[in-house]
Amino acid sequence: MIHASYYRPRVYPFGSGLPAEMDRFQDLSGGLTLNREKIKEIGRDGIVDWRKRIPTLRITGRQYEYGSLEFWLKLGNKGSATDTIDLNDFKNSMVDICCYKTDDDGTFQGTVWYPKLRLAGFSLAIGDPQAYIERNFEWVGEDEIQLLNDNKYFIHREFTADGGTNETFVVSDAGTTYPDPISDPDNSGYYLFKVVRVRAGIATELVYTTDYTYDSGTVTLTVVSTTNGDKIKVYWSAGSYITGEEPFTNNDSDAAAISASSCSIYLQSANYVYKLQSVNIDVSFDRTDYYEIGNKEVIQRGIRNKTCTVTLGRILEDFTIEEIARGVTDLDYGKIDAREFLDNLALIVKIYDNDDKDNFLMKYTLTDLSPVGLDAGIPVDDYVSRGATLECEACTITTAE
């Protein structure tokens, strides 16, 4: 059997950025719908055949907030020098997620590969004043591939091009460091799963024989045309992993998890919100990922609409949130009319490494928020609770305070 301790997830950005282990995940699950359709006909009892349509894959993951921007950069296909991510960075970005599986006897069994995943939404949840802060993710894709036996390891290598015509790259080194590619069992003569060129931040998957060729005898990749500085990302499978490396390296430097007491919530930049019992930021994307006739792959990716929903729950003692929403915090104002609420509020969630809040790590900022709902709970023998829901379309995640 394969225990969660030996189920090691790793993320591979399609565009800029190097692969990395997926730290602090508490749950990772997926469902693949094959979308197969029975074909019948009049005059026959039974099925004539099955139409195999493009599958639908949904992957969800729950991760403890640990104060690092690294995973967000992988999802947005950004390099490590980037300090800010916004929702537009997820329009065209994709990742592969690979889960490396070892059984209880220490025998490596294989890799589950989810290629070309697009982010469909995410949330930041603070369930109560003593809870850990959690990130939740949802991805969509089309494929789940099991790599086994001689093909059991998923391998990636990145080269930097000098620029020119028919530039060559030696993919592996006979197992000294990188193992040689093994032939794809489903596609005779194919050894590389894919080759991606990243030029000026734009990632393009190259076409075999048109854009590149591969010689399995010399393990040499030839790219028809390159520009100096191009990143050439190569993916294949092998019976062993990269010498001296592991798919998953323990992260003992960042926080194990960050609790609710180590964050600060502000409305309109400077107004600290007290008495909060819960905070939930939910971001959903209305994706427009298009196919074309004659092709089984997604050929165009985008996000038609973005919705950010913020839910704040608190014990009712004063009306600070309502006063901020009305824009009258500095006045001894005697009337709060919900019809007069502002529609350009800002919410900031600052994350620190401890509850002393003396070391800032990162923050989530939502702007142009409009209140869309208020509610109240008045149970017998308990204190009155109050909730507020706000919506916008802009969210940034940054390490710049």
Angstrom distance (rounded) from CA 399 to CA 324: 26
* Residues found in the chain: 401
Nearest CA to 212 out of 179, 173, 178, 167 is that of 167
Question: Which two structure tokens, joined as six digits, stand for 395?
Answer: 């969210």
Contact 275, 298 (CB under 8 A): no
Residue 295 is predicted with a pLDDT of 79
87-99 burial, b at 16+ Cβ within 10 Å, e below that, comes to bebbbbbbbbbbb
Provide the pairing of β-strand 276-287 with 303-315. Answer: antiparallel
Task: Tell me the average confidence (pLDDT) per consecutive run of 10 residues in the chain, 401 residues long.
Answer: 83 96 95 91 92 92 97 96 96 96 91 96 95 97 95 97 96 87 93 96 94 96 97 97 93 96 90 87 91 79 91 72 79 80 91 95 96 75 71 96 89
Q: How far, CA to CA in Å, does 187 sit from each of 56, 193, 234?
A: 22, 10, 17
- Positions of CATH 2.30.110 in the chain: 260-398
Report how many helices (DSSP H) and strands (DSSP E) the chain contains, helices first. 2, 28
Cβ contacts of 135 within 8 Å, gap of 6 or more = 62, 63, 64, 65, 122, 123, 124, 125
pTM: 0.92
Contact 248, 52 (CB under 8 A): no
Contact 281, 349 (CB under 8 A): yes
Nearest CA to 355 out of 191, 186, 130, 37 is that of 130
The CATH class, in words, for 260-398 is: mainly beta
Residue 89 is predicted with a pLDDT of 95
Contact 26, 62 (CB under 8 A): yes
Residue 350 is predicted with a pLDDT of 97
Question: Which two structure tokens, joined as six digits, stand for 63?
Answer: 């991760």
Give the other-Cβ count within 10 Å of 125's Cβ: 18
Give the SS3 label for residue 308. strand
169-185 burial, b at 16+ Cβ within 10 Å, e below that, comes to bebbeeeeebbbbbeee
